[in-house]
Structure formats: C-alpha cells, structure tokens
Amino acid sequence: MSQAPVPAPPADALPGSPGTWATLAPLLGILALGAFAYANSLHGAFAFDDRIEIRDNVAIRDLGTFLGPAGYRAYPNRFVGYATFALNYRLGGLDPFGYHLVNLAIHLLASLLVYRLVRQILRTPRVRASSLASSPGAIAFVAAALFATHPLGTQAVTYIVQRLTSLTALLYLLTVSLYLAWRLADAPGRGSTLRRGLLLASMLLSALLAVRTKEIAFTLPATLVLIEWLLFPPGGVRRWIGIAPVALVALLIPLSWVDLGGTATQVAASADRVTRLLTSVSRVDYLRTQSVVLCEYLRLLAWPSGQNIDHDIPIYTSTLAPRVLLSLTVLAGLAGLAVWAAWGTGRSSGRRLDPAWRVVALGIGWFFVTLAVESSVIPIVDVIYEHRAYLPSVGVFMGVAVLVGRGFQKAAPAAAPRLTVLTGIALSLLLGSITLQRNAVWADPVSLWSDAVGKSPNKARPHQNLGESFDAMGRLDEAEREFRRAVEIQPGSITARTSLATVLQKSGRLGEAEAEYVAALDLDPGHVPAIFNLADILWRSGRREEAATLYRRLLEVGPRSGAARSIAAARAGTGEPPPDPAPPPPR
C-alpha cells in the first residue's frame, strides 16, 4: 500500500515554521510585539478631549437611550464610535482601564488585518509574479509588526477618544481586505457565487460601519479604485460592482452634514460652512500648510523623535516660504516615485522592475488618499495631530516591508525571507521600546502637558492645559505660572484670562483676581463665568450695588436654570430665595 504524500507547508509560512505553526507564528508574533509596545498604556487617566467626550458626556451614560434615535442624531457620522464608549460606560463606568483595553484590542486586530491585507496584495494578478510572492508571510509580518509597534500610533491608541480613528482604521482595513477577497474569489475555481455574495455583503456592512465611525472613511472608494488600477488588469464594468456601492455608502458622510433643503446657493453655503472646523483659514493656505504637515508625518514615521500632543506649526500664506517649497519638493518626489514604480512594472515598460514595486506605488498612494479628508482643502483649526497618520502609516509600512524584502533578495537570496523577518522583529522591538516611553508621557495630564510645553513653549494651549492640570491638583502657584504664560502668549484668550483670575481668587488675592476678571469681560462682556465670579468678589467685599448690576447682566445672558442663576436672582433682588450652601465659583 502506498503512503499518501504529506502536503507541503504553505508558501507564505515564516521560514522554518512547519504545519499549523506556520499559520499561528506570525499572528502570535504580531500580537506579542503589539502587547509589548502598549503594556504600560492601560492605566492612563482621561486626557484632553477624553474629559469632554467621555468623562463629562452625559449622552453616553444610558446605553439604551444612546442606541436609539437620540444618539444617532447627536453623532450621525461617529455613531458607532460613541456607541462603543456608551458600552464601555455600561460595563465599567468611568474606570479608564476598560476604555484603554478596548483601544488596545482594536489596535491589535488592525495589526492582524495589515498582515492579512499585505498577503492578499501579494496574491493579486499584477503582483503575484514578483519574486517576493513566494514568501508573502515574511513581507506581511514586517508591515504588520511595524504598524503594531510604531510610536506614532500612540495617539490613536493611548488617547482614548481617538478610538474614533483606530476603530475607523480597523473597519477600513477590513473593508479593503474583504474587497480583495471578493476580487480574488472571481478567479476560476476560487469561490462559489454564494461565497462571493457573502463577501460583497460583508464588505458593504464594514464600509457602512466605517463611515458611521469617522469621516476619514469617505476616502474608501478612492482607495479601492487605486487598488483596482495597480493590482488588477483592466477590463469591463465588473470591477465596479464592488466599488460603486461603497461610493454610495461613503456619500452618507456629506449628506449628514449638508442641508439639502434650500436653494442651490444655500446648499453651497451649507457645504462651505460644514467643510471647515472652527477656523477662518483659507482653503489654499490650509492646503499649503498641509504640505509641511505631511512631511512632518513622514519624518515622524522615519525618525520618531519630538512627538507632541500639540505641535506648533504656523499657517503658511506663501508657497515661496522655504519650508513649504522643501515640503512640496519632497512630496512631488514621493509622487514621482509612485508613478515610476507603477509605470516600470507595466507592460509598456517591458516590466523592467519586479512587480512588487506596484506595492510601493500603492503604499504611497494609500498615504496620500487616506490623508485627503484632513490634509487637503477642508480647513481644521488644528492643522496637525499625530493620530491622523495612523491609517496612512499602513501604506508607508507596506512600502518599507517590500523594500526590506527586495534588499535582502539581492544581498542574500537564499536567506532573504528569514533575514526579512528578523529585521522586522529587531525594528519592532526598537520601536516598541520608544512606544513604551511615549506611553509613559500619557500616564497623567501633568506629564502629558509638561511634555507639550517643553516642545511647544510659544503656544498658549499647552500652558493653559498644564495650568488646568495643576489647578485640579491644588498646585495653585504652578497653575498661576502657566496661566500667566498663556495670557502672555495669547492676550485675547478669554479662557486664559478667566483661568488666571479663578486661581488668584482661590489663592485669596481678590484684588488681582478682580483685575483679571475685568480684563476678561473687556474681551467678552457676556462671558458667564467671569460675570459670576467677579460679582461674587464684589458681593463678598461689600460692594453690593456693583455686584447686583453684574448679577442682573448674568440673568440676561446666562443659563435659564441652575445654582448660579438662583444665586444671581437672589442677590440681584428679584425675590428668589438663595440656595444653601452656595456652590464654588464656576470657571
């Protein structure tokens, strides 16, 4: 009796890994490296917008209510992300550990999807002839391991509210992976009609969840078009069967913003209004500035030094500014490299380049496309945030992995897969160590904003937020120092003036506090906290008529209910009884 042959291990196995271990080893390695990099991220306090969007957000306190129409109306384009915050609150209240744990799980799953995505890309028709296609697991491992451990990902993972970014990235990667699975299943003998239908339906569901998590998912159709152009041969309308529905789903994002009920002029005005965020910066100046920002993201990916929660990059109003010119040159060179890589692997060029260069072209295109919402002509008050590079970094790591693999193929062909994997492990351990250090900065607000003040000393907001952190800890002298610096940098900031006045009031220096409140009200006569606190100082110092005048102003411009209004009504002589005891002064 002849013995049945033993099947060979998969071609994409890690070198020297037999059988089932070949499938599990890279996945376990990616998870282990990611867990190592974020081991100290699970106990950080709520920071920055976490306080507003999670800690103080009453909308997420009732999961059942949030999952209904009220929650969707409040956050139409981010409903899925905020629903996960509501679920976190239901399960663990305001303990940051549970929120951090979910963020880490999302990041690790996204890292595994990067591995799967790169393997799929190396199986596509226009790449599978590459010499790298014989060991796709090695290339995919490097890309995924770098993504899992790179410190530029910390703001999307450790900063809790930026789950909106990491969860969108996860769903984005899942959508693209399902699209590739659907396209690859079109090959003869690869999949039944039912399977292809299920893949298409799953892809559309994933796309819908992505566009209802964060607006960056709007670029999904463009990414799929890029994939079609670079990875699949041209031909027919069949390729649009998957892309067209995703494009329709992506349109839900602008449809949720723009008021379509008016005239064409009104619709255009609505579109202009909603495609800028808290800034009057012109679209051209914003785009010009974003050339600098994109190069800063690339620098941080290549050399992760100088990470900062609040970078200080000015608005550039001239294309001739040296930094703008240099940035545009770098970006043009990068785009030129993508065109060269795509053309050099095409039929008209005689295929002088290995087909894996198409992956490099895809990675560069991915970087530009996935940044298109936040780094183009939609002005946003904060021109740079590190979490915006989280999804775009996938394209960079794809390209880097291919270049590492190609380099070893030329230098040591026999050992190339093994050397590629070992290089990926070494780089990931180094990056993971830097990520650990960066996560330590996120441990508490004082360390986070002290770091930002050191790196952006001439920007008011880091000083303001560090002052608030000191104030919350009762360290009033240090808080005063930071608020004074914020006022010095930005004299027209009502927030900085009022914060400084409040700290002086807490310190018993009522004369100085009064002067700061007066300066704040010169900036904004209707600022309720300044009105209330100044009136309280005047009332307690016996200047009752002056105080009553301010209390009457508060009744005109302030809230229609609450303790502050009750106090104002009583002290202004309206006859309403004062509450007892009086609350501390609001800021």
- pLDDT for 469-501, tens place per residue? 999 999 999 999 999 999 999 999 999 999 999
Specify whether the CB–CB gap between 155 and 387 falls below 8 A. yes
Burial class (CB in 10 A: 0-12, 13-18, 19+), 425: middle
The pLDDT of residue 582 = 44
* pLDDT (0 to 100) of residue 278: 74
Residue ranges, comma separated, of all CATH 1.25.40.10 domains in the chain are 449-571
CA-to-CA distance for 362 and 114, rounded, in angstroms?
14
Q: What proportion of the chain, given as a percentage, has pLDDT over 90? A: 83
User: Contact 168/216 with Cβ under 8 angstroms?
Assistant: yes
Least confident of 126-135, 137-146, 547-556, 559-568: 559-568
CA 469 to chain centre: 23
Question: Would you state the pLDDT for residue 579?
Answer: 46
Say whether pLDDT at 7 is over 60. Answer: no
Q: What is the structure's pLDDT at 103? A: 98
Rounded to 10 degrees, the C-alpha dihedral 138/144/149/151 comes to 120
The pLDDT value recorded for residue 120 is 98
CATH of domain 449-571: 1.25.40.10
In this prediction, residues 433-447 reach a mean pLDDT of: 97
176/206 Cα distance (integer angstroms)? 9
CB 88 within 8 Å of CB 35: no
Residue with token string 């769903």: 171
Is the pLDDT at 559 greater than 50? The verdict is yes
User: In the predicted model, is pLDDT for residue 191 greater than 70?
Assistant: no
Task: Please give the average per-residue pLDDT across 418-436, as a whole number.
Answer: 98
Contacts of 304 (CB under 8 A, 6+ apart): 150, 151, 152, 431, 434, 438
* pLDDT, tens digit (0-9, with 9 covering 90-100), for 450-472: 999 999 999 999 999 999 999 99
pLDDT confidence of residue 189: 58
Mean pLDDT of the chain: 92
- Choice among 25-34, 202-211, 250-259, 359-368 with the minimum mean pLDDT: 250-259
pLDDT category at 190 given cuts 50, 70, 90 is low
**DSSP codes joined into one string, 416-442:** HHHHHHHHHHHHHHHHHHHHHHHHHHT
Amino acid identity of 441? V
Q: Is the dihedral of CA 13, 16, 21, 27 positive or negative?
A: negative
pLDDT exceeds 50 at position 323: yes
**Residue 309, Cα to own-chain centre: how many angstroms?**
12
Residue 19: predicted pLDDT: 62
**What pLDDT, on a 0 to 100 scale, did the predictor assign at position 584?**
45
Distance, CA of 430 to CA of 433 (rounded, Å): 5
User: Highest mean pLDDT: which of 233-242, 269-278, 531-540, 567-576?
Assistant: 531-540
Q: How far is CA 208 from the centre of its chain?
A: 19
Q: CB within 8 A of 247, min separation 6: which ones?
A: 221
pLDDT, tens only, 44-89: 999 999 999 999 999 999 999 999 999 999 999 999 999 999 999 9
d(CA 204, CA 352): 37
pLDDT at 383 over 50: yes
The encoded tokens of residue 424 equal 């990926």
Predicted TM-score (pTM) of this structure: 0.92
| Residues linked to residue 264 through DSSP beta bridges, in sequence order | none
pLDDT of 447 > 60? The answer is: yes
Between residues 505 and 17, the one the model is more confident about: 505
Helices (H) and strands (E) in the chain, counts: 27, 0
What percent of the chain stands above pLDDT 70? 92
pLDDT of residue 6: 39
Is 352's pLDDT higher than 70? yes
Tens digits of residue pLDDT in 138-158: 999 999 999 999 999 999 999
Helix, strand, coil percentages (3-state) for the chain, rounded to 5, are: 70, 0, 30
Reduced to 3 states, what is the DSSP secondary structure of residue 277?
strand
Confidence of residue 351 (pLDDT cuts 50, 70, 90): low
Q: What is the radius of gyration, based on Cα positions, of the chain?
A: 28
Residue 560's pLDDT band (boundaries 50, 70, 90)?
confident
Tell me what the mean pLDDT of segment 228-249 comes to: 89
Strand-pairing partners, residue 380, are: 277
pLDDT tops 70 at residue 583: no
Angle at 337 between CA 334 and CA 339, to 5 degrees: 115
Q: Note the helical H segments in 442-527.
A: 445-455, 460-472, 476-489, 494-506, 510-523
For residue 385, what pLDDT is reported? Answer: 98
Distance separating the N- and C-terminal Cα atoms of the chain: 88
| Res 93 pLDDT > 60 | yes
State the pLDDT at residue 108.
98
